[in-house]
Structure 1
Amino acid sequence: PDDAERREAPRPRAPSGPPRRRLRGPIGTGPAVALTLAVLVAANLAVHYGGGPLGLVTAVAAVALLLGVLHWAGGTRADAGLAPGTLARGARWALALIGLVGLVYLAGALIPDTRPLFQDRRHEGMGAGELAVRVLVLVPVGTVLLEEVAFRGVLYGLLCRAHGALRATVGSSLLFGLWHVLPSLHLATAKPALTEVFGDTAAGAALAVAAAVLFTAAAGVLFCELRRRSGSLLAPMGLHWAVNALGYVAGFLLA
């Protein structure tokens, strides 16, 4: 009888897929995300209204705080896209993407129909020294390091471990779009090509901001996918730096 009972006992079902790993630490994913957003709101205001050295100090401090929040929630370097084993692969992706953006920008600057897209009134009067500071310091530290660690590193890592890659991509990309509201307030008047589209009015400025938010949210999806495919934060960092820094170079040369 004992043998019959053992034969009739139902076998445990095999799991349908690997279980999602949740962050385990002194705080949970929800509080960690809330702390991350609080740091980002403060950093956004400080960077936008401070600028210069204050913006750089704010960016570095915010990066340290954000990585601290991830660690506090039980996250690892791999969750932030900074695992040592993925850095070489990420660097190769970054170099390839920088070269690709450089070729696209060069072609766009040489073609008369697309050349106005690179013109920016904010580059007027900019010297070579200021350009070098922007390209080599302000963009990589004040923009790329902060935004990539925040949105494709900490936020993506927190959300991915709790809810999966899709929700992590959507959530971090939407927040990345909203992050660009303040920097886009005068975008319609700064770029002649956008002034022709949106006009020089309050309504046009609002439309330009909305377009910038949607565009950067879409860019955030691309950055998240690069991070997912490469396994490294260096891949979206390379593309992000190339788009911003080489844009400054093109605008400077065409000013």
Structure 2
Amino acid sequence: MRRTIATGLGVLTAANLLNNRVARRWAPVTSAAATGALLLIARRAGLTRHELGFRDARAGAATGGALAAAVAAGYAAGVALPRTRPLFHDQRALALSRRRVLEEALVQVPFGTVLLEEVGFRGVLPALLGRVLPARTAVAASAALFGVWHVLPALDMARANPALGRLTAGEDPAPGDGRRGGVEAGRLVAGTVASTALAGLVFHGLRHRAGLLAPALLHVATNSLGYAAARAARRLDDRSAGPAAPLRR
């Protein structure tokens, strides 16, 4: 079983590098292939659909849909308030054309990010670890690995969204004097790993209560609606500042 777990971790590591450093636009293809490989590993290990979280689709849709609506409301409130609006100034969204934003929100996020992360870290990995570890330890280990999974995205976030990076690192998100060049990479990575590990525990709780679909819908809403929130924040700032160049189309 330990060899099986190591194989699964190898699949996740390879996908992480490909999606974040080598072939980002091909992430949906890479993630679909990696997800298929993980499910094949799970099948050969004798894991059941129930162990993987493929159950309670109706409950998952209801729970995940309600949480997605809450995310939308929270983003709307955050964009509307000048104090929190800078948190949505993410160049990963603002630098894209409208077509590319739609691609990210509707294709890259659900199929390039959420599919693999939910099946991998809320389905296959904790189930495999549960064969050699106590259940709670297996969940905690999977959540910790989910945090480590976000090291490379954290480095990208430091460049693309300095305000959110400062907040993640436990600092005031308001712009500083610039002498430090933003948040130190080490503190940002540590803050991101800790916060995403905690999110992994929350997502696993949802998966335990309502199946894998619940955290998947919440995950999609959190990431995909962020693109809409970033563009809405830019539009509000442009209106406040007066006439300005329009967003890229």
TM-score (norm 2): 0.84
Shift in Å, 1:80: 1.1
1:248 alignment partner in structure 2 = 227
2:244 alignment partner in structure 1 = none
2:27 equivalent to 1:55: yes
Q: 1:229 to 1:161 in 2, by over 3 A?
A: farther
1:79 alignment partner in structure 2 = 51
Q: Give the counterpart letter for 2:38 in structure 1.
A: L
SS across alignment from 1:163: coil
2:190 equivalent to 1:210: yes
1:233 alignment partner in structure 2 = 212
Shift in Å, 1:50: 2.8
Does structure 2 retain, via aligned residues, the 8 Å contact 1:90–1:235? Answer: yes
Shift in Å, 1:53: 4.3
Does structure 1 retain, via aligned residues, the 8 Å contact 2:27–2:113? Answer: no
Does structure 2 retain, via aligned residues, the 8 Å contact 1:79–1:158? Answer: no
Shift in Å, 1:186: 3.1
Same amino acid, percent of matched pairs: 43
Shift in Å, 1:152: 0.1
Q: Distance in 2 between matches of 1:113 and 1:148?
A: 32
Q: Give the counterpart letter for 2:231 in structure 1.
A: F
1:178 alignment partner in structure 2 = 148
Structure 1 stretches of 4+ moved >6 Å: none
RMSD of aligned C-alpha atoms?
A: 1.8
Q: Distance in 2 between matches of 1:50 and 1:91?
A: 34
Query: Unaligned 5+ residue runs, structure 2?
Result: 167-174, 235-249
SS across alignment from 2:50: coil
Structure-to-structure mapping, 1:17-32, within 5 angstroms: 28=1, 30-32=2-4
Shift in Å, 1:113: 1.2
Shift in Å, 1:229: 1.4
Residue by residue over 1:57-106, the C-alpha shift from the partner in whole angstroms, topping out at 9 and shown as x without a partner, is 110100000001111100011111113xx111111111111111111111
Q: Distance in 2 between matches of 1:59 and 1:192?
A: 28
Shift in Å, 1:129: 1.1
1:107 alignment partner in structure 2 = 77
2:98 alignment partner in structure 1 = 128
2:38 alignment partner in structure 1 = 66
Does structure 1 retain, via aligned residues, the 8 Å contact 2:79–2:232? Answer: no
Bigger Rg over Cα: 1
Query: Unaligned 5+ residue runs, structure 1?
Result: 1-27
Q: Distance in 1 between matches of 2:134 and 2:228?
A: 38
Q: Distance in 1 between matches of 2:157 and 2:107?
A: 22
TM-score (norm 1): 0.82
Q: Distance in 1 between matches of 2:149 and 2:41?
A: 19
Shift in Å, 1:34: 1.1
Q: Give the counterpart letter for 1:200 in structure 2.
A: G
Q: 1:94 to 1:77 in 2, by over 3 A?
A: same
Aligned residues: 223
Residue by residue over 1:116-148, the C-alpha shift from the partner in whole angstroms, topping out at 9 and shown as x without a partner, is 111112223322211111111000000000100
Shift in Å, 1:254: 1.8
Q: Distance in 2 between matches of 1:183 and 1:157?
A: 25
Shift in Å, 1:177: 0.3
Does structure 2 retain, via aligned residues, the 8 Å contact 1:116–1:192? Answer: no
* Bigger mean CA deviation after superposition, 181-190 or 31-40: 181-190
Q: Distance in 1 between matches of 2:91 and 2:107?
A: 21
Does structure 2 retain, via aligned residues, the 8 Å contact 1:43–1:62? Answer: yes
Q: Distance in 2 between matches of 1:135 and 1:54?
A: 15
